[in-house]
Amino acid sequence: MSQEQDTKNRDSNSETPQKRAGMELPILGQVSRRTAIKGAAAVAGVAALGVAAAPMLQKTAELSAAEFMQRHFKELTDEDKRIIFERLENEAQEKYDAEVQIGDHPPIRGVRFGYAINLSLCNGNGKCMEACHRENNHDRATQQSYIRIFEMPVGTTDFEQGNTSYDHEVPQKSHYYLPVQCFQCDNPPCVSVCPVEATWQESDGIVVVDYNWCIGCRYCMAACPYHARRFNWKEPEIPADEVNPDQGYLSNRIRPQGVVEKCHFCLHRTRVGKLPACLEACPTGARIFGDLMDPDSNIRWVLANKRCFTIKEELGTKPMMFYFFD
């Protein structure tokens, strides 16, 4: 805008409304062609924006108002949960053609879970990984699992020398096998960093994720020192007959696209008195799971009688997964 124009505008301000309208008309006349072109450009721009954004329409239509408005898990009443679980069960039916039951499975008062692995027994057969894959309704194509096994050369605990993609007979000579999963740390860095409290530690020590609250920023994945968290880069694909129908809202229900997930010590099993799927599948008996608060539990016996260690203890995360050699 030039100074003259500016002056004109200021002048017009002090005029009466009628006079001002009279002054504006010729200006309108001058710019009408220009304004018309601008209008046309604006319309074309909006149309182009519509075309560019079109691919997201279907996905947006899939998003129900109930899902969009759903509150954080801790704010839900029992009635809210009933309605939500039913909705999720219907979604599983529609999308996966599978009849599933989703439960709440609250933590048991006075229980604190701990897990130990006997590295002298583990031979890297990978049954735990497979069991996790099936139990927790992981995406089939990516072979996803919460467990990974490191094949480590004897004489080191340096993960850099380990190998997780081995494909040969086990056990190999001069190697030991070290399975890792979420350690359900007592001081979990992943929980502190979450901007929306979508992940938290429950009273039995299990760190859970509300898959319907997570915004998918993946800050927790950056914060975890153990590579325990996974992201759903796409919607998981599972054949109907392979879907595990026994599901927990905070555990193994089929996860939506774009959210983070992690090992939950099979809480839909362990909170009703069963053992984790990975432990049940282990043919070597290397896995010991139990209640740390129960003085007679196996896990307490292991902690009292074996020289246990945790991974990256120096970070102060206080893992609840313990390793030992016999």
Partner 1 sequence: MSANQITSDTSSTATPRGYWANYPRFLWQSLRAATDGSPLFYGWMTLLTAVALVGVNGWAHQYASGMIVTHMTDHVSWGLYIANFTFGVGLAAGGVMMVIPAYLYRNRAMHDVVILGELLAVAAIIICTLFIAVDLGRPDRFWHIIPGLGRFNWPISMLTWDVIVLNGYLLINLHICGYLLYTKFQGRTPNRWWYIPFVFLSIIWAISIHTVTAFLYQGLGGRPFWNTALLAPRFLASAFVSGPIFLILTMLILKKIAGIQLPSQAIKLLVQIVRVTILINLLMVASELFTEFYTGAAHSVHAYYLFFGLHGHNALVPWIWTAIVLNVLAAIFFLNRSALESPTWLTIACLMGLVGIWIEKGMGLIVPGFVPSTLHQIVEYVPSLTEWQITAGIWAFGLMVYSVGLKIAIPIFRAASHDE
| Residues contacting residue 197 through CB under 8 Å, at least 6 positions apart | 72, 213
Query: Under a CB-based contact definition with an 8 Å cutoff, are residues 252 and 136 in contact?
Result: yes
The contact mask relative to partner 1 for 295-314 (x = CB under 8 A, - = no) is -----------------x--
CB 159 → partner 1: shortest distance, Å?
4
Q: Encoding tokens for residue 169?
A: 């007979």
Which of 275, 311 has the CB closer to partner 1?
Answer: 311
Name which of residues 119 to 158 contact partner 1 (CB under 8 A): 148, 150, 158
Which of 22, 30, 38, 82 binds partner 1 (CB under 8 A)? It is 38
Q: Which of residues 229-258 bind partner 1 (CB under 8 A)?
A: 229-235, 256-258
Tokens describing residue 239:
């054949």
**Angstrom distances, CA of residue 65 to CA of 62, 93, 316:** 10, 19, 42
Least CB distance to partner 1 at residue 86 (A): 21
Candidate residues 217, 275, 292, 308; the one interacting with partner 1 per rule CB under 8 A: 217
By beta-carbon proximity to partner 1, the closer residue of 51 and 154 is 51
48 binds partner 1 per the rule CB under 8 A:
yes
In angstroms, rounded to a whole number, what is the distance separating the alpha carbons of residues 321 and 279?
13
**Smallest separation, CB 34 to partner 1 (Å):** 7
Choose one: 1-9, 81-89, 128-136, 280-288; the region binding partner 1 (CB under 8 A).
Answer: 1-9
Q: Could you say which residues in the range 72-111 bind partner 1, by CB under 8 A?
A: 72
CA 5: distance to chain centroid? 58
Q: Which of these segments, 44-52, 82-90, 98-106, 287-295, binds partner 1 (CB under 8 A)?
A: 44-52
Contact between 311 and 227 (Cβ < 8 Å): no
Torsion sign over Cα 127, 129, 131, 133: negative
Structure tokens at 268: 């839909």
Calpha distance 265→252 (Å, rounded)? 10
Closest CB 7 distance from partner 1, rounded Å: 5
Q: Pick the closer one to partner 1 by CB: 226 or 322.
A: 226
Q: Which stretch binds partner 1 (CB under 8 A): 95-103, 122-130, 188-196, 302-310?
A: 188-196
Residues 6+ apart with CB under 8 A from 264: 182, 206, 207, 208, 248, 250, 251, 252
Give yes or no for a contact between 207 and 262, defined as CB atoms under 8 angstroms apart: yes
Total chain residues near partner 1 (CB under 8 A): 73
